């Protein structure tokens, strides 16, 4: 994959400062984790690197990497069986299912049952200690219920997402298949390392591509 002039500048800048990222910056950029939208909310402004000529906001890869590390430590500090990763949108289905598989947590994909966190009389009622959401807009219902239930929220947030009520923002392109695959692969790997599920110098058995939702996959 070729990079534009500004991306090449960012690659050079990071390599000169010898900042150690979780994966090479080229891998981040190739997956498009940094590509935002043409809208930027107030809460996402601190994570912006630049604005492209076409009007798209670009996220700072270093801040994405930093927040992935922080989120991993935070998630691993909870009982993993009480952590729930959520995605209403299709492109997040495989990433959250794979994340749950490797971290021994739980996943919810597709439609959210109203009252799942707030109505103990429901058959599918759950009491998680931490929620991870893929897209604060699409996953707003689970966010609202988590806020009512007092459950902390970690969220992958794009430039156009509102961040009110989110306890920990991971700035990211949360709309692209390849972006979500790499992000959840990294989160799963780092949580697994922090929780002692795999050695700190080992990767997951599968590559990031295994976390990618294929076209036509239904939830």
pLDDT means per 10 residues, the chain with 219 residues, are: 63 65 93 96 96 94 96 98 97 97 97 94 94 97 96 98 96 96 98 96 96 70
Q: Write down the pLDDT at residue 4.
A: 67
Q: Does residue 103 come out as left (phi exceeding 0), alpha (psi in the -120 to 50 range) or beta?
A: alpha
Q: Write down the pLDDT at residue 217.
A: 45
Q: Write down the pLDDT at residue 215.
A: 72
Residue labelled with tokens 């156009």? 160
| Token code pair at residue 22 | 């979780």
Q: Where do the structural domains in the chain lie, given as residue ranges?
A: 5-211
DSSP letters along 107-140, please? EEESSPPTTTTT-TTSTT----SEEEES-TTTTH
Q: Does residue 91 come out as left (phi exceeding 0), alpha (psi in the -120 to 50 range) or beta?
A: alpha
**126: exposed, middle or buried (C-beta count within 10 Å: 0-12, 13-18, 19+)?**
middle
Note every long-range contact of 97-103, with CB atoms under 8 Å and residues 24 or more positions apart, other chains counting. Answer: 98/184, 98/185, 98/188, 98/206, 98/210, 98/211, 99/132, 99/184, 99/187, 99/188, 99/211, 102/188, 102/189, 102/192, 102/197, 102/204, 103/75, 103/188, 103/191, 103/192, 103/195, 103/197
Residue labelled with tokens 């294929």? 214
Q: Write down the pLDDT at residue 18.
A: 56
Q: Write down the pLDDT at residue 6.
A: 66
In whole angstroms, give the CA distance from residue 160 to residue 69: 23
Is CATH 1.10.10.10 the classification given to domain 5-211? Answer: no
Q: Write down the pLDDT at residue 214.
A: 87
Q: Write down the pLDDT at residue 139.
A: 96
Q: Write down the pLDDT at residue 182.
A: 98
* Residue pair 184/72 in contact by the 8 Å Cβ criterion: no
In angstroms and rounded to an integer, the radius of gyration of the C-alpha atoms of the chain is 17
In whole angstroms, give the CA distance from residue 118 to residue 144: 10
């Amino acid at each position: 994959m070729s990079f534009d002039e500004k991306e090449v500048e960012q690659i050079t800048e990071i390599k000169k400062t010898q900042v150690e990222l979780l994966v090479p910056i080229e891998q981040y950029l190739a997956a498009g984790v940094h590509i935002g939208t043409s809208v930027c909310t107030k809460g996402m402004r601190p994570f912006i690197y630049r604005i492209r000529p076409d009007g798209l906001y670009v996220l700072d890869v270093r801040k994405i990497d930093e927040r992935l590390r922080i989120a991993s430590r935070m998630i691993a500090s909870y009982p993993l069986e009480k952590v729930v990763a959520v995605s209403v949108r299709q492109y997040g289905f495989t990433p959250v299912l794979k994340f749950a598989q490797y971290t021994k947590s739980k996943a919810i994909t597709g439609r959210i049952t109203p009252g799942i966190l707030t109505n103990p009389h429901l058959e599918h009622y759950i009491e998680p200690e931490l929620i991870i959401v893929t897209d604060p807009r699409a996953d707003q219902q689970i966010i609202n219920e988590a806020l009512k239930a007092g459950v902390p929220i970690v969220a992958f947030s794009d430039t156009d997402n509102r961040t009110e009520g989110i306890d920990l923002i991971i700035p990211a392109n949360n709309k692209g298949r390849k972006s979500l695959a790499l992000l959840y692969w990294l989160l799963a790997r780092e949580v697994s390392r922090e929780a002692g599920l795999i050695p700190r110098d080992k990767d997951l058995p599968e590559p990031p591509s295994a976390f990618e939702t294929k076209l036509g996959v239904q939830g």
